[in-house]
């Protein structure tokens, strides 16, 4: 028998009971569409989080003072940690091999006043190197001036939201901003960035690090950020940085270095698991659709018992009958699969159009997997009805009323 004729015969049989075929096709379509939509959701979330981390820099070391070590059992008393000083930051900048940018960070909070308007702002004392390190873009003006970290003029760069709230959106360059008791000259405005890993960069004021240390009367830095040349250097860079600081701190290892790697890795694992869980839930609906197909095919076989008897009488073999019904089931489910892929991708785009900030991305394997799975659903759930058809006794089948 020719393949084309086989498909023609199966297709004609499906058109013979159009409503029933359409409904079971719809079942598969819903199953496949939900697999695609739900995995898109999970994958979108994963890509979003990964993107956030990459924006921060996957080759970043964050050095904080003190040794945060959680050990079970006895807490060994350590000598009070030394401060992380500007000199430490400078040493890292000059002597750490592979360091591309090093930026000290002294954090505090202050009341900002511009004209009659006041509000509380986060103040970050840092250096010019913070800009390329955190990939900060400016809306206007310039960033903190390059130069020695231990002195600094009273200049500041403000977040986009502060321009709107304290200066009512007008150009603040050259104007005065009072932070606590000190007057600073606004020299730049950062582009809107939004919340990036817990800090809203739109609501902070950046000042030279020496000014922040003085203002908040700090003895040491809050942290030092180190950007390495590449992601691959992160482990060796971390070891070298620890060694360097240990040497400077009289042999005590009293700093903690955090990398984004570990965090990113666990987020990735959690979210990949989430995607798999969502796919599993969607797969349940696909298997329900498969049972729908089985049901339709069983009804079809019992309805067409006499036809099967006739086919056998005119010399159609049992394997041919089996094949004809399997092809019928596979056609039904793969048509449903195609509709489902269309609906799923369409739905993804629709959600994207309605809620642009909602991350959705069908994983690359979703569409081919949906097609293969839906076709196998037809073959697996069509097997039982097809076998039943192939095994019918022609004499009994023909005699059926």
Contact between 311 and other proteins per CB under 8 A: yes
Compute the least distance from the CB of residue 19 to other proteins, in Å.
Answer: 14
94 binds other proteins (CB under 8 A): no
Nearer to other proteins, 99 or 389 (CB): 389
Pick one of 52, 90, 233, 307: the residue that binds other proteins (CB under 8 A): 307
For residue 124, state whether it binds other proteins (rule: CB under 8 A).
Answer: no
Residue partners of 29: CB distance under 8 A and separation at least 6: 336, 337, 339, 340, 343
Least distance in Å: CB of 276 to other proteins?
43
d(CA 1, CA 10): 13
Nearer to other proteins among residue 278 and residue 397 (C-beta): 397
Q: Say whether residue 195 binds other proteins (CB under 8 A).
A: no
Q: What is the DSSP string of 143-196?
A: -SPPS-SS---SEEEE-HHHHHHHSTTS--TT-EEEETTEEEEEEEEEPP--EE
**Segment contacting other proteins by CB under 8 A, of 156-164, 257-265, 282-290, 301-309:** 301-309
- Pair of tokens at residue 107: 């954090």
Expressed in angstroms, the distance from the first to the final Cα of the chain is 29
* Site for other proteins contains 16 (CB under 8 A): yes
- Chosen residue from 26, 242, 272, 318 binding other proteins by CB under 8 A: 318
Q: Quick one: which of 243, 317, 349, 372 contacts other proteins (CB under 8 A)?
A: 317
Single out the residue of 309, 336, 378, 385 in contact with other proteins (rule: CB under 8 A).
Answer: 309
Q: What angle do CA 91, 92, 97 make, to 5 degrees?
A: 120
Q: Does 398 bind other proteins (CB under 8 A)?
A: yes
HEC profile of 112-134? EEECCEEEEEEEEEECCCHHHHC
Residue 238's nearest CA partner among 221, 260, 259 is 259
- The residue among 12 and 270 lying less far from other proteins, judged by its C-beta, is 12
Binding of other proteins at residue 178 (CB under 8 A)?
no
Is residue 165 within 8 A of residue 177, CB to CB? The reply is no
**Does 7 sit near other proteins (CB under 8 A)?**
no
Q: Which helix (H) or strand (E) holds 107?
A: strand 99-114
Is-contact 63 393, C-beta < 8 A?
no
Please identify which residue in the block is written with the tokens 């909070």.
Answer: 109
Q: Does residue 372 bind other proteins (CB under 8 A)?
A: no
**Cβ proximity to other proteins, 232 vs 303, nearer residue:** 303
CB of 324 to other proteins, least distance (A): 8
Binder of other proteins out of 218, 299, 316, 379 (CB under 8 A): 316
Residue 310 found at the interface with other proteins (CB under 8 A): yes
Contact between 314 and other proteins per CB under 8 A: yes
Angle, helices 18-56 vs 366-391, to 10°: value is 150
**Contact predicate 8/237, CB 8 Å:** no
CB of 22 to other proteins, least distance (A): 16
Footprint on this chain of other proteins (rule: CB under 8 A): 1-2, 5, 9, 12-13, 15-16, 306-307, 309-320, 394-395, 398
């Amino acid at each position: 028998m020719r393949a084309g004729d086989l498909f023609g015969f199966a297709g004609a049989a499906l058109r013979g009971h159009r409503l029933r075929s359409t409904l079971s096709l719809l079942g598969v379509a819903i199953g496949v569409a939900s697999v695609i939509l739900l995995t898109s959701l999970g994958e979108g979330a994963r890509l979003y989080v990964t993107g956030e981390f990459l924006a921060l820099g996957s080759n970043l070391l964050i050095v904080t003072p003190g040794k945060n070590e959680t050990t079970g059992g006895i807490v060994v008393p350590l000598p009070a940690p030394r401060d992380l000083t500007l000199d430490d930051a400078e040493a890292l900048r000059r002597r750490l091999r592979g360091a591309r940018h090093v930026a000290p960070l002294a954090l505090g909070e202050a009341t900002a006043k511009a004209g009659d308007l006041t509000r509380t702002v986060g103040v970050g004392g840092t250096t010019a190197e913070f800009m390329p390190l955190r990939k900060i873009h400016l809306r206007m003006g310039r960033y903190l001036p390059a130069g020695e970290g231990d002195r600094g003029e009273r200049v500041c760069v403000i977040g986009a939201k502060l321009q709107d709230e304290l200066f009512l959106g007008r150009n603040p360059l050259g104007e005065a901003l009072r932070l606590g008791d000190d007057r600073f000259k606004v020299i730049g405005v950062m582009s809107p960035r939004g919340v990036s890993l817990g800090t809203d960069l739109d609501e902070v004021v950046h000042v030279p690090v020496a000014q922040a240390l003085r203002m908040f009367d700090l003895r040491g830095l809050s942290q030092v950020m180190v950007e390495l040349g590449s992601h691959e250097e992160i482990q060796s860079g971390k070891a070298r940085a620890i060694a360097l600081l240990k040497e400077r701190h009289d042999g005590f290892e009293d700093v903690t270095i955090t990398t984004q790697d570990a965090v990113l890795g666990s987020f990735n694992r959690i979210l990949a698991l989430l995607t798999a869980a969502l796919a599993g839930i969607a797969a349940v609906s696909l298997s329900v659709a498969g049972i729908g197909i089985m049901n339709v095919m069983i009804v079809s076989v019992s309805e067409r018992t006499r036809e099967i008897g006739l086919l056998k009488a005119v010399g159609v073999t049992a394997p041919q009958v089996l094949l004809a019904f399997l092809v019928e089931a596979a056609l039904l489910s793969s048509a449903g699969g195609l509709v489902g892929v269309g609906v799923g991708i369409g739905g993804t785009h629709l959600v994207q159009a309605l809620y642009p900030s909602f991350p959705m991305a069908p994983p690359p394997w979703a569409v081919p997997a949906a097609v293969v799975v839906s076709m196998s659903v037809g073959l697996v759930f069509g097997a039982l009805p097809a076998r039943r058809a192939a095994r019918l006794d022609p004499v009994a089948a023909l005699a059926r009323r």
